[in-house]
Amino acid sequence: MRTKTELQYKKDILEVCKRIYSKGYVAANDGNVSIKLPDGNFLTTHTGRSKGFLTLDEIVKVSPDGKPISKGKPSTEVEMHLGIYKERPDVNAIVHAHPVFATSFALARIPLDQCTIPEIVTTLGAVPLADYSTPSTQEVSDSLKEPIGKADAVLLANHGVVCAGFDVFDAYFKLERVEHFAQITFYSKMLGGEKLLTCGEVGKLRDIQGKYGVIGKTNECIPAQNPTKSHSQALKKAINELC
């Protein structure tokens, strides 16, 4: 049961905004964060504001249809957030950002869907890719309906990453995991390619998953017996051209 005051939720948003800015997950005024309040309304970051310098007054309260009910102008991506909340009633917070490695995979349109890192398999699972959609439009919400229904973290083609959680820190830590996963995957490709876990190895990880206290959805990743060649080949080509 959530018992924080509205002010406390605002402070939580500020803390997460400072973290995503300090880690370089957003630049300038990019990114947005929201929280679902117990009364059914939502708090979201103000549009056109740097997340590293956001103030309490720049967190806007909106109704379920996205209309502001406090001073300020809500994020232009508020429709995306509301669409996720509608699709996933279990979600209480959302973080959207553009971390470099994960967004690079999004630009290459390569999902992070292979079973490689035990901690990712057990706590996050595969990170699917949503089809490209025009930012700040209803298209984004529509493109997320299928992937967000099975995963808490989704790559947005040519755009960035969106993560959903039971609270704003859960959503933020999922963002951290996605970027860490993407960075390790990128470098492993440069060392000859990652070796996928087998079905048996993944099965054992699933058996101990309860020890990690996971809350939310962990989408099934692809084990070694069924690699997606097109994804691997596309990434290898991109790295070869870069290096």
Residues with active-site annotation: 77
154 three-class SS: strand
Q: Which residues contact 173 (CB under 8 A, 6 or more apart)?
A: 165
Read off the tokens for 144: 């997320």
DSSP, res 127: B
Residues 80, 187: Cα–Cα separation, whole Å: 31
The one-letter amino acid code at 72 reads G
Residues 185, 117: Cα–Cα separation, whole Å: 9
Could you write out the DSSP letters of every residue in 15-47? HHHHHHHHTTSS-TT--EEEEE-TTS-EEEEBT
The one-letter amino acid code at 137 reads T
How many C-beta atoms surround the C-beta of residue 233 within 10 A? 10
**Of the candidates 215, 101, 196, 110, which has an alpha carbon nearest to the alpha carbon of residue 152?**
215
User: Using an 8 Å Cβ cutoff, are 75 and 32 in contact?
Assistant: yes
How many C-beta atoms surround the C-beta of residue 158 within 10 A? 14
114 three-class SS: strand
